[in-house]
Amino acid sequence: MSSSGVPSGRHPDPLGTCERQARTAVAIYWIEVQRVRCKACEHTHSLLADFLHPYRHYVIQRLQEVVSWYLLAGLSINAIMSRLTGPGPGRSTVREWIRSFSYGAGVLIFDVLCRWLMQTSPLSELPKTPPPQHLDRVPGGIQRHHLTKAHRFWHLAERVYAQVKARLSRLHFSPRHLLSFVLHWLQRRRIPPRLFWSPASPALRLSPSSRLGFPSGVLI
């Protein structure tokens, strides 16, 4: 289990459970989620499993699948919609996933991965993956820049997994669960899991201070 952002150092008080929706490619499930009150900040938090992202009803593997089709395979929104089966998501949801990943991964978390890789391998250069040509069709320079960084983030995340795996042989995530690993990795370092984060959504809006408030954590 992983936390939705409980500060470390004190044991939280349990507050019972609540039901949380988890949508996959084939079905909709309802699962029980433990809720706690943090003694440090006195806020209530939900302890989410690594296959769930805060404020998202779909499991992280489904979000990864859709975003990879656009970001890595270069599929258009129409092509993605034709591939989707099961309960949703709709076209507007797919677009929002892509935008929020480009901001969450490409802006909020990108530097965290870079710093960790430079700390663990100070003599190695970070891979400079050129942006794919299909991103040239994206209108708007800012969005294209975010997507370009999100594409590089993906390859940096694979490198982080390889380095962590070399030290923790028991660790096992398949390529289909790369973002599940990243959520787990962020939680271990006590970093808010904001892979899919939209500054336009009231529920997901960040203050300037919270954008910069990533603790260094412990290397794993």
Write out pLDDT tens, residues 114-167: 999 999 888 778 877 888 899 998 987 899 999 999 999 999 999 999 888 888
Whole-angstrom Cα distance, residue 154 to residue 182? Answer: 10
Whole-angstrom Cα distance, residue 47 to residue 75? Answer: 34
pLDDT score of 122: 82
Instruction: At 213, list the tokens.
Output: 């408030």
C-beta separation of 59 from 25 below 8 A: no
Q: Give residue 182's Cα distance to chain centre.
A: 7
Sequence letter at residue 45: H
pTM of the model as a whole: 0.80
pLDDT score of 202: 53
Give the residues of the chain that fall short of pLDDT 50.
1-3, 7-8, 206-220
The torsion region of residue 155 among left (phi > 0), alpha (psi -120 to 50) and beta comes to alpha
Whole-angstrom Cα distance, residue 48 to residue 54? Answer: 8
pLDDT score of 42: 74
Whole-angstrom Cα distance, residue 89 to residue 149? Answer: 25
pLDDT score of 195: 93
